[in-house]
Amino acid sequence: MKKSSLHIQSTLLLKFNTGVALMYCLLFAQSILNAQISKTYVEEISVGKQVEILSNVPSSIGVNVSGTVTTNNTKNRYSLSGKNGDLRLNVLKDLLIETWDKAMVRQETKITVNSNDDNDAIRLLALMKIKLVNGPDGRIDIDCNLNIDLFKMKNGWFRSDDCTIQLESGENISINYLELETKLFIPKYANLNLKGNKHCIIRLGELDGDLDVEMKYAEIYGVSVNNLRASLRSCYNVIFESVENADISSSNSYVKIDKANIISIGSQSLNDACKLANPKYMRSNSAQSKYKFGQLNTLQISDSANDEIVINEVDNLIMKSSNFSNLEINKLRKSLIADVKNTDISIGNLDKDFSEINITNALSTIEISTDKASNYLLSLAKDNLIEGFDEAKFSLYADEGLNNVYRFGSKVSNSTITLNCDRCKFTIY
Amino acid sequence: MNNFEKYLQDNKDKLQSDSVDEKVWLMIENEMLKSKNRRSKRFLRITFIVIFMSLLGCLIYVLQDQDEGLNEQKILAEYDLTKYNFEEKVNTKKQQLVSATVPETKFEDFQILLQQLEFMDGQFQDYIRYIEQNGYQEFIGDQILNFYKSKIELLDKIKSEIDKINYYEKIKPSYTEYVTIEI
Amino acid sequence: MVSMRTIYEMYAKQMLASSFRITNSLPDSEDIIQESFLCAFQKIEQLKDEGKFSSWLKQIVINNSIKFIKNKTSFEPLDEINEREVKEDNSNWYMSIPFNQIRESIMSLPDGCREIFSLYLLEGYKHKEIASALGISISNSKSQYRYALKLLKNILMKYHHE
């Protein structure tokens, strides 16, 4: 059967229109593909009642740069730009770790990627994987950088930026730009272990479990944890509202805990990753750090050098070894036992019902402000050179051979202050 | 071999032609001279290349060496950290302590403070390495500023501790030798 | 230290004669010894034993000469030669013939057999080496040598009888 010319014309027109439409679709698709592509990967895994989670931090991403690199000066972004200042790597340094009641660990990582060849970007996104593996020992390992092994950038005098993502599988994919943002959700009862040696900002919700951190250059903002074990170097903001027990070794850091039951400083040596390359630089488990504590039941200082320790309120304080550190206590409720050297101690308010102050020290300044209503015995070693002590305010209670014992207050009390501090300035009022 | 063959073999020298045309030697001599010139030129060229490469190597080495030496200052200058003149203040304070002495009995205790100084130097090198490896970031600028303040505080502390020791030493001498603190 | 000129003078005549007996062309032999001396002088540092210089130089000259004549030489087909006839001649008939006569007679021999004659008898090459260098069979080398010897004897006998 012969087709009419009108039918042929309409068929041709239809074909032409279809062709134009297809061309537009392709151009549209092309424009989309040339733009940055983002994808948020979400992975969840159920966990048992006892779970330990080990995570690195987003800035742990391996970077290998050869050529000119510049960094964008932003507080919470780890950003690298190439030769012409084009942004190539942009990692959100903030790691938000929310805790929840679910027996589940969840990782959300958003990847934004741009590549000269759209197929490369698509391939990279297809190969990205979150690995939340529930190991035989019940530990969940989290990699904030997914399965990226290395971000590589090369450029030179006659060569523009050449960026590659190397995956753990060894596969290399060319890209122009990579952006990563990670967020974690973990059970409240989990024990969390964090490790990192580049600047990052950890924001942690309420954790009923334990927190073990081994960090360099990190900032940690936590709400509450049960047991905290921290090995820190150059961590300028490690701040917790509440900690049941803490064991902290640190250097060149600032640690603030508002409320704690027991805090121990310097009982363990710094982890190797937190030590300086040359061991001679650091012989104390805690040095050159600043600690600020709110309310504590017990503080035990095992090994401290040139630290600055400020406590608002503490019941019991034991200092086993301290050199050239300064201790400032706003209120001491019960006891202070210190065997130290060159350590200035200041007690702003000694509770009237305190039990014992026993200080062995040398070459330091000691200031104690007592409650006027308190009753106690003060024992001073006779052979010590002590300046600033106003003997007139006290009555000599006993001469015990090596010590002179003075009495303060009219009532009999078990409260005692014993001071063996040669070449010291001692003020008590 | 018969007698005739032996005779020829024994007298082969006498079967030679009388002379060789002088032009043969002249040609040889000419070629030798050309070859010598070629070798000399090649030698000169190689010598030149070797000297040039050595000089280039030395230049790169010197520049690199300078670069390493200046790296610390370069980084500090680049991020405007020199405006506080910390380095100068630190040096002045260190200078004041160079000849400081303490009684020998206190020397051991005092080493802890000097170790802190060493620790700070090590920490500073770590900052520089961090910047080299990861680029400059705001937090590290804050830390370096704080580092300098801490270092000055530490030097002040060392000074005041020495003063304290020597003050008490005057009142209650320990009758031991004085030693320099070796800062 | 001996100069190159001295060395040249020591060996040039001998080398030219060796080459000439092979090439039968004086200009070509002159070119060959020139090339050979140049080669020897340039590579003299490679020679570990100075005492072996002359044999080393001779080797170069002969090799260059063979290279020159190779593929140019044609060997005459030979009839069977009675070896005994050659070997059993023990008389001294040649003693009275002047050496320049002998030299000229040698040079008048056909190219192929003359070359083999020179290489075998005067340069001390073995038939196996000659065969290999010239790309012929050993038996052909031997035959060509016997042929050259017979021819030379025939030529010289004429002078002897004269």
Give the DSSP per-residue string, A61-104: --EEEES--EE---SSEEEEE-TTS-EEEEEE-EEEEEEESSSE
Residue B17 to residue A100: CA distance in whole angstroms: 114
pLDDT surpasses 80 at C89: no
pLDDT surpasses 50 at A3: no
8-state DSSP, B175: -
At B92, the pLDDT band (50, 70, 90 cuts) reads confident
At A229, the pLDDT band (50, 70, 90 cuts) reads very high
Q: Are C8 and B23 in contact (CB < 8 Å)? A: no
Q: Are B17 and C13 in contact (CB < 8 Å)? A: yes
From the candidates C57, C61, C86, C99, which should be mutated to test the interface with B, based on the most B CB atoms within 10 A? C99
A218 touches chain B (CB under 8 A): no
> Which tens digits make up the pLDDT trace of C105-132?
888 888 888 889 988 988 888 888 888 8
Non-local (6+) Cβ contacts of A28 within 8 A are: none
Please provide residue C158's backbone torsions phi and psi, each rounded to the nearest 5 degrees.
-60, -45
ipTM entry = 0.79
∠ Cα A334 A338 A341 (to 5°): 150
- Per the CB < 8 A criterion, the answer to whether A252 and A270 are in contact is no
CATH of domain C83-161: 1.10.10.10
∠ Cα A163 A164 A170 (to 5°): 165
Average pLDDT over residues C18-41: 87
* Residue from the list A73, A276, A283 with its beta carbon closest to the beta carbon of B126: A276
What pLDDT was estimated at residue A132?
85
Residue A365 to residue A386: CA distance in whole angstroms: 10
pLDDT surpasses 80 at A33: no
How many residues are listed for chain B in this entry?
183
Residues 382-421 of A with CB under 8 A from B: 385
Q: Which amino acid is at B87?
A: E
From the candidates B12, B26, B33, which should be mutated to test the interface with C, based on the most C CB atoms within 10 A? B12
Domain boundaries, chain C: 4-69, 83-161
What pLDDT was estimated at residue B127?
87
- Percent of the residues in chain B that have a pLDDT greater than 70, as a whole number: 86
For residue A341, give the chain B residue with the closest CA: B109
What pLDDT was estimated at residue A325?
94
B8 touches chain C (CB under 8 A): yes
Q: Among A344-353, B68-77, C61-70, where is mean pLDDT lowest? A: B68-77
- Per the CB < 8 A criterion, the answer to whether A249 and A191 are in contact is no
pLDDT surpasses 90 at B32: no
The whole-angstrom distance between A71's CA and the closest CA on chain B is: 5
Domain boundaries, chain B: 1-70, 79-183
B168 touches chain A (CB under 8 A): yes
Q: Are B138 and A251 in contact (CB < 8 Å)? A: no
At B181, the pLDDT band (50, 70, 90 cuts) reads confident
Residue A247 to residue A228: CA distance in whole angstroms: 6
pLDDT surpasses 70 at C22: yes
Q: Are B4 and C89 in contact (CB < 8 Å)? A: yes
Which residues of chain B make contact with C14, given a CB cutoff of 8 A? 13, 16
B13 touches chain C (CB under 8 A): yes
Q: Are C37 and B28 in contact (CB < 8 Å)? A: yes
Q: Quickly tell me which residue has 């009642």 as its tokens.
A: A49
pLDDT surpasses 70 at A213: yes
What pLDDT was estimated at residue A415?
95
A243 touches chain B (CB under 8 A): no
What pLDDT was estimated at residue A284?
84
At A18, the pLDDT band (50, 70, 90 cuts) reads low
Q: Quickly tell me which residue has 């919470």 as its tokens.
A: A76
pLDDT surpasses 60 at C99: yes
Q: Are B109 and A341 in contact (CB < 8 Å)? A: yes
* Residue from the list A281, A323, A342 with its beta carbon closest to the beta carbon of B119: A281
Non-local (6+) Cβ contacts of A320 within 8 A are: A300, A301, A302, A303, A339
What pLDDT was estimated at residue A387?
93
The whole-angstrom distance between A46's CA and the closest CA on chain B is: 36
pLDDT surpasses 80 at A136: no
At A2, the pLDDT band (50, 70, 90 cuts) reads very low
What pLDDT was estimated at residue C104?
86
pLDDT surpasses 60 at A4: no
Chain C interface, Cβ < 8 Å to B: 4-5, 8, 12-14, 16-17, 20-21, 30, 33-34, 37-38, 41-42, 86-95, 99, 102-103, 106, 121-122, 149, 153
What pLDDT was estimated at residue A10?
47
What pLDDT was estimated at residue B16?
74
Q: Are A73 and B136 in contact (CB < 8 Å)? A: yes
Average pLDDT over residues A94-109: 95
The better pLDDT of the pair C69, A253 is held by A253
Which chains neighbour B (Cβ–Cβ under 8 Å, 3 or more pairs)? Answer: A, C
> Which tens digits make up the pLDDT trace of A144-163?
988 898 999 998 888 889 99
Which chains neighbour A (Cβ–Cβ under 8 Å, 3 or more pairs)? Answer: B
Residue B169 to residue A363: CA distance in whole angstroms: 11
Residues 72-91 of B with CB under 8 A from A: none
Residue A336 to residue B100: CA distance in whole angstroms: 35
Average pLDDT over residues C50-74: 82
At A356, the pLDDT band (50, 70, 90 cuts) reads very high
Question: Would strands A172-175 and A77-81 be described as parallel, antiparallel, or unpaired?
Answer: unpaired
Residue A174 in tokens: 């060319």
Residue A309 to residue A322: CA distance in whole angstroms: 11
What pLDDT was estimated at residue B64?
57
At A36, the pLDDT band (50, 70, 90 cuts) reads confident
* Residue from the list A276, A281, A363 with its beta carbon closest to the beta carbon of B164: A363
Helix axes B22-78, C4-23, angle to 10 degrees: 120
Chain CA centroid to CA A150, Å? 24
3 state SS of A191? strand
Which residues of chain B make contact with A322, given a CB cutoff of 8 A? none
pLDDT surpasses 70 at A360: yes
Residue A301 to residue A312: CA distance in whole angstroms: 16
At A282, the pLDDT band (50, 70, 90 cuts) reads low
pLDDT surpasses 60 at A24: no
What pLDDT was estimated at residue A34?
52
> Which tens digits make up the pLDDT trace of A162-175?
999 999 888 999 99
From the candidates A71, A235, A281, which should be mutated to test the interface with B, based on the most B CB atoms within 10 A? A281
For residue C119, give the chain B residue with the closest CA: B9
B15 touches chain C (CB under 8 A): yes
What pLDDT was estimated at residue A279?
57
B123 touches chain A (CB under 8 A): yes
pLDDT surpasses 50 at A5: no
The whole-angstrom distance between C49's CA and the closest CA on chain B is: 22
Cross-strand bridge partners of residue A150 = A166
What pLDDT was estimated at residue A359?
97
Counting Cβ atoms within 10 Å, is residue C142 exposed (0-12), middle (13-18) or buried (19+)? middle
The verdict on domain C4-69 having CATH code 1.10.1740.10 is yes
What pLDDT was estimated at residue A44?
93
The better pLDDT of the pair A191, A133 is held by A191
At A378, the pLDDT band (50, 70, 90 cuts) reads very high
Average pLDDT over residues B71-99: 76
> Which tens digits make up the pLDDT trace of A231-271?
999 999 999 999 999 999 999 999 999 999 999 999 998 88
Counting Cβ atoms within 10 Å, is residue A44 exposed (0-12), middle (13-18) or buried (19+)? middle
For residue A59, give the chain B residue with the closest CA: B134
- Per the CB < 8 A criterion, the answer to whether C147 and C86 are in contact is no
At A204, the pLDDT band (50, 70, 90 cuts) reads very high
pLDDT surpasses 80 at A102: yes
Q: Quickly tell me which residue has 């095992």 as its tokens.
A: A302
Average pLDDT over residues A118-137: 84
The better pLDDT of the pair B104, A21 is held by B104
Question: Would strands A70-71 and A77-81 be described as parallel, antiparallel, or unpaired?
Answer: antiparallel
B4 touches chain C (CB under 8 A): yes
At B183, the pLDDT band (50, 70, 90 cuts) reads confident
Alpha helices in A291-382 (DSSP H): none
Residue A150 to residue A401: CA distance in whole angstroms: 72
Average pLDDT over residues A327-352: 96
